[in-house]
Every structure is written in C-alpha cells, then in structure tokens.
C-alpha cells in the first residue's frame, strides 16, 4: 500500500503514525506531488460585506498573500513534518537520480494522455502542461 502526499499533508492524515517508511525525491528534484489550495468567497457574500470588512479581506488577498501563505503555510512545515516521521523511527528514503529518471520516463504516457484529453475538449493541453511545469519550477524551493 502507498500514498502520494506532499510533506505538508502528512500530519493531517496522521501518515507519520500510519506509515513506517516514506519515499522522497533527491534534493532539488521535482516533487512527486504539489498541494494546491484556493481561498475563495462567494461574490454576493463579499458584495454584502461592510466596506471596512472588504478592506480587511482586500488587504490580505492577492498575489502577495498567496506567496506568504505558500511560504509560511506550506514551505516552512516541510522540515517539521519530515521530523514528525523520523522522530517516530520511520525510515525516509530518497530515490536515486537514475531511479527518479526512470519513474519520470514511465509516467510520460500519463502526461501524454492528459494532453490528448484536454486538447480534445478544445484547450491547448500541451501549453497548459508546460505552463504548470514552468510555474512549479519557478516557485518550487
């Protein structure tokens, strides 16, 4: 059995208690998974708020708030959550560069199939995949 979960999701599912071993990628390599979160609000609810509350929301939203949440909310907990696992005696292994390359090669057909499906629906699947990868590369630390 296995699960593919970024380190920031480990305590929410108590994976440090359930799993005895964890598999990671080599330092600097693309991660297996990325967390995506959206903080949204119904437009009608927002419009109904008093001006002073809208001001608070507006001051704490947007690209800067998103970057802060990513850094504070997720990036900063990776080491701590990794430690939760190792403190329990769990083993954390990392794939070798060669094995990671083999996994990436083996998964190319999944990417190709997704691109075909999205393109068949009228979007440019290749461009979307390339853009997603570029953003991950840009913001992955």
Instruction: Please say which residue of 76, 95, 114 terminates a domain.
Output: 95
**128 and 109, same structural domain?**
yes
Are residues 106 and 46 located together in one domain of the fold? no
Q: What is the pLDDT of residues 10-39, one digit of tens each?
A: 999 999 999 999 999 888 787 777 777 788
- For the full predicted model, state whether its pTM sits above 0.85: no
- pLDDT digits 0-9 by tens, 78-102: 889 999 999 999 999 999 999 999 9
Tokens standing for residue 2: 């296995």
For the beta carbon of residue 81, count every other beta carbon within 10 angstroms.
19
Same domain, 60 and 113: no
Structural domain boundaries, residue 141: 96-141
Q: Does 44 have pLDDT greater than 70?
A: yes
**Is there a single domain that holds both residue 5 and residue 73?**
yes
C-alpha distance from residue 91 to each of 28, 83, 111, 124 (Å)? 20, 11, 30, 41
Token look-up 């390599």 returns: 29
Q: What is the pLDDT of residue 124?
A: 98
How many structural domains comprise the chain?
2
């Amino acid at each position: 059995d296995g699960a593919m979960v970024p380190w920031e999701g480990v305590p929410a599912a108590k994976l440090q208690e359930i799993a005895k071993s964890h598999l990671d990628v080599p330092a600097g390599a693309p991660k297996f998974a990325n967390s995506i979160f959206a903080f949204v609000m119904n437009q009608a609810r927002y419009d109904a708020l008093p001006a002073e509350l809208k001001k608070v929301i507006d001051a704490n939203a947007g690209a800067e708030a998103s970057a802060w949440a990513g850094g504070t909310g997720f990036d900063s907990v990776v080491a701590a959550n990794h430690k939760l696992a190792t403190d329990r005696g769990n083993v954390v292994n990392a794939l070798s560069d060669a094995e990671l390359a083999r996994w990436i090669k083996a998964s190319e057909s999944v990417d190709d199939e997704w691109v075909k499906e999205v393109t068949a629906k009228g979007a440019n699947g290749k461009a979307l995949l390339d853009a997603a990868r570029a953003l991950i590369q840009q913001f992955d630390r």
